[in-house]
A and B are shown apart, each in its own frame.
Chain A
Amino acid sequence: MPDFDFAQPTSLDEALALFAAEGEVRALVGGTDIVDQLKTGRRNADMVVDVKRIPELQRLEMADDGLHIGAARALTDIGECPAVRSDYRGLADSSVLVGSWQIQNRAGLGGNVCNAAPSGDTIPSLLTHDASAIVASTSGRREIALSDFFAGPGQTVLQKGEILVEVVLPPIPDNSASAYLRFIPRNEMDIAVAGVGSFLQLNPSDNTVQKARIALASVAPTPVRARAAEEALEGNVLSDELIETAAVAAVGSATPISDVRGSAEYRRELVKVLTRRTLGICRDRISG
């Protein structure tokens, strides 16, 4: 590995001062992406800043404006959090899919988000819950809708000196649920060939879809919303036929590539199947 300076700040202000310094300053949470990237020279660093000891980045708390998840909070904690398991089940589904137990014990939500892989398994679930990113630098804080956070494979809109502090998921409405599924050749320890997160809110009196969110992983340069599929659902009575229509519409939002994990055509088919299945799970979860 290359040589770099290392710091372990215990307050956000102390951390932001470090990130404002010249050169390539990189945050470290679980290290499950960045350590291998440094070892193999895919990323460089003049300084690595371990952000796990900053209390704000470890927050995991339900507030009036929703669920706050600090960027350094481990996926294991998120997957086990009662609020996540009851209200944000798609995110619980995602958290326990990332790598292995060992990985989930170390990896932070912020690491998955800021690594910005098209295959990042927590990202579709965050998008379906209309999550926003709270970012900070020495010049202040700003809030960015997570749907505007990704700029390309491995690229975010974070500016030099800016770090992700937390992700906020607004409170869920009644009669709603979310779900996430991905396809990989084995059950664990691989990167999604395709992944789909869905969120549905139904009107209990007539079963019309009041709000729908669908987001896709591994089928575009960044995780993407499938807006045409969402529009196909909203305002209509939920039925198997409607779900099928939405599943077909979701394919239109995918711009997959062919690689060792699967061909573009196979990925499009997976988007359809996984959209259909996750919408079905949302429906079951709302009624169950």
Chain B
Amino acid sequence: MKHISMTVNGDQHELLVDTSWTLLETLRDHLRLTGTKEGCSNGNCGACTVMINGRTANSCLVLAAEMDGNEITTIEGIATQGKLNAVQEAFIKDGALQCGFCTPGFIISTTALLQRDPNPSEVEIRTRLAGNLCRCTGYDKIVMAVEDAAAMLRG
């Protein structure tokens, strides 16, 4: 076991973690933050995407033990005081989801993308989101929602 102190969505947590726990299982099973999903568990699907110190990562490939002193943002930390962010609004407005399993990961990746580039091209959107798989939508509506969210944010 290892003692870690990590911040999740602004709240600091002191945890005793097993060295073999992934960040994903720690978030879901121990902190009960089940918005982050487990799809493949090997880095391919992106359902488990979170931000670590502002950068996206596949939480299924991260050990909780690595996280001492780090700041994590999960899908639960994206809305502020009950108000959805522009990316969430755009995904709803454009119907960029069906079953919704991939959506938390897409929202995190899109939020990170728009923080970096407020006006991404379609190619950039598709490249930056290539690590997030969706088995329902066919991606076009997701790309549309990202473009709409970018436009909303630019005002």
Across the interface, which residues of A come within 8 angstroms of B111, CB to CB?
none
Interface size of A by Cβ–Cβ distance < 8 Å? Answer: 29
Across the interface, which residues of B come within 8 angstroms of A189, CB to CB?
44, 130-131
Name the distance in Å between B75's Cβ and chain A's nearest Cβ. 14
Asked if A14 CB lies within 8 Å of chain B CBs, one says no
Q: Are B130 and A35 in contact (CB under 8 A)?
A: no
In B63-93, the 8 Å CB interface with A consists of: 63, 65-66, 68
In B35-74, the 8 Å CB interface with A consists of: 41-44, 46, 49, 52, 55-58, 60-63, 65-66, 68
Considering the chains assembled together, what is the distance between the CA atoms of A39 and B63 in angstroms? Answer: 11
Name the distance in Å between A104's Cβ and chain B's nearest Cβ. 9
Q: Are A188 and B127 in contact (CB under 8 A)?
A: yes
Considering the chains assembled together, what is the distance between the CA atoms of A3 and B65 in angstroms? Answer: 12
Across the interface, which residues of A come within 8 angstroms of B46, CB to CB?
100, 102
Q: Are B20 and A31 in contact (CB under 8 A)?
A: no
Given A101-B109, A103-B131, A188-B131, A6 contacting B65 (CB threshold 8 A): yes
Given A31-B63, A187-B130, A48 contacting B57 (CB threshold 8 A): no
Asked if B22 CB lies within 8 Å of chain A CBs, one says yes
Q: Are A103 and B68 in contact (CB under 8 A)?
A: no
Across the interface, which residues of B come within 8 angstroms of A188, CB to CB?
127, 130-131
Q: Are A102 and B49 in contact (CB under 8 A)?
A: yes
Name the distance in Å between A222's Cβ and chain B's nearest Cβ. 23
Considering the chains assembled together, what is the distance between the CA atoms of A8 and B19 in angstroms? Answer: 12
Asked if A263 CB lies within 8 Å of chain B CBs, one says no
Asked if B2 CB lies within 8 Å of chain A CBs, one says yes
Asked if B128 CB lies within 8 Å of chain A CBs, one says yes
Name the distance in Å between A81's Cβ and chain B's nearest Cβ. 16
Considering the chains assembled together, what is the distance between the CA atoms of A48 and B63 in angstroms? Answer: 10
Q: Are A187 and B127 in contact (CB under 8 A)?
A: yes
In A97-118, the 8 Å CB interface with B consists of: 99-103, 105-106
Q: Are B19 and A101 in contact (CB under 8 A)?
A: no
Name the distance in Å between A96's Cβ and chain B's nearest Cβ. 8
Across the interface, which residues of B come within 8 angstroms of A38, CB to CB?
20
Q: Which of B2, B61, B130 contacts A31 (CB 8 A)?
A: B61
Q: Are B66 and A8 in contact (CB under 8 A)?
A: yes
Given A100-B131, A188-B131, A105 contacting B63 (CB threshold 8 A): no
Across the interface, which residues of A come within 8 angstroms of B41, CB to CB?
39
Asked if A2 CB lies within 8 Å of chain B CBs, one says yes
Considering the chains assembled together, what is the distance between the CA atoms of A30 and B62 in angstroms? Answer: 8
Q: Which of A31, A50, A101 contacts B128 (CB 8 A)?
A: A101
Asked if A156 CB lies within 8 Å of chain B CBs, one says no
In A158-202, the 8 Å CB interface with B consists of: 187-189
Q: Are A100 and B130 in contact (CB under 8 A)?
A: yes
Name the distance in Å between B23's Cβ and chain A's nearest Cβ. 10
Given A99-B43, A103-B58, A105-B55, A4 contacting B20 (CB threshold 8 A): yes
Q: Are A103 and B66 in contact (CB under 8 A)?
A: no
Across the interface, which residues of A come within 8 angstroms of B62, CB to CB?
31, 35, 106
Q: Which of A35, A76, A99, A101 contacts B63 (CB 8 A)?
A: A35
Q: Are B66 and A50 in contact (CB under 8 A)?
A: yes
Closest 10 CB pairs of A and B: A100-B131, A188-B130, A1-B20, A6-B19, A105-B55, A6-B65, A102-B131, A35-B61, A36-B42, A102-B56
Can you name 17 A-B residue pairings with CB atoms under 8 Å? A3-B19, A5-B19, A6-B63, A30-B61, A36-B42, A38-B20, A48-B63, A50-B63, A100-B46, A101-B56, A101-B128, A102-B109, A102-B131, A105-B55, A106-B55, A187-B130, A188-B127
For the complex with contacts A1-B22, A28-B66, A31-B66, 6 further pairs of A-B residues with Cβ separation under 8 Å are A6-B19, A6-B65, A8-B68, A38-B20, A100-B130, A105-B52
B positions within 8 Å CB-CB of A: 2, 18-20, 22, 41-44, 46, 49, 52, 55-58, 60-63, 65-66, 68, 109, 112, 127-132
